Structure 1
Amino acid sequence: MALERLLLFSRQYKIRQWLVDISQMPPLGNDEQAWVSQRWVAQFARIGVSNLALMLPDDLHNQLAMEHILDSGRCYTQLNVQFFADFPAALDWLSKTPEDVQRLEKEWFVAANTAPQPSIQNLSLDKLLD
């Protein structure tokens, strides 16, 4: 449900860059991996996200699963994907200026401390950088 809501939000607000914290995500099962790879990725490709920054999962299994999902989605999109160990590096990759990085860092940490599900966070970076 969360992944589908992210698609709706991104479509509605024309979001083109995502920063997603999957560091604490529960282990992905085979059925979940198959659903994301076979159904969700094609929908994701149609919304036009061009840059995806992912916080490295603590679980090696999840990192390998995400890499497999992203690999399977390469036929749908020319998405730029990077894994990051820390937020400032991810924000730097997504931002145009150092000032944007500082502003977004503050917003990210506020969101991380107030989000009901900290493992699924998404900032509308396009709106913030305008």
Structure 2
Amino acid sequence: MLQFDKPFATIEIEPEKSLLILTWHGFANSDEYREANTVAIQISRQYNLTKWLNNMKEMKAIRQADQEWSVNEWLPLFKSLHIQKWALVIADDMFNQMAMSSMMSKIRPQLTHPVEYFQDLNSARTWIERA
């Protein structure tokens, strides 16, 4: 069920699987990046979703200011959700990979649920749909 559809990102939910899928399309400027991540939190809360799948395969670099926003502003909201599993499909873009690595080194120690990284969407879906 499509919840958010913009040129830079789409958010779909599969309520029967308690799953949110955030798919990035190329580069997102600061406003776009923050909007998609904020809407994803709101949708998760609204539907009480417990699984997240971030598909960053096509995503480009994330600005430093947005990395800091993710850790300082977004993370406390994310932690307030009841997430049980989080799958991340790694971007092909090297600059995105470096940004995610830096952010996740700060985010991951604060999380209590499993977080796994995948090269492709199918592998991520298989893992996240397992009980």
**TM-score normalised over the length of structure 2:** 0.67
RMSD: 1.6
Shift of 1:96: 2.9
Separation in 2, partners of 1:17, 1:44: 12
Residue 91 of structure 1 corresponds to which residue in structure 2? 125
- Are 2:87 and 2:117, in contact at CA under 8 Å, matched by a contact in 1? yes
Q: Which has the higher contact order (CA 8 A, sep 6+)?
A: 1
TM alignment of 1:41-60, pairs within 5 A = 41-60=75-94
Pick the structure with more helix per residue: 1
Computing the radius of gyration from Cα coordinates, the structure with the larger value is 1
Deviations 1:76-111 (A, max 9, x none): 3213111111222111111137xxxxxxxxxxxxxx
The SS at the match of 2:37 is helix
Stretches of 4+ aligned residues off by more than 6 angstroms: none
- Are 2:84 and 2:113, in contact at CA under 8 Å, matched by a contact in 1? yes
Once the two structures are aligned, what percentage of the paired residues are identical?
27
Aligned length: 97
5+ long unaligned stretches in structure 2? 1-34
**TM-score normalised over the length of structure 1:** 0.67
CA 1:61–1:90 in 2, change beyond 3 Å: closer, same or farther?
same
Separation in 1, partners of 2:41, 2:67: 17
5+ long unaligned stretches in structure 1? 98-130
Pick the structure with more strand per residue: 2
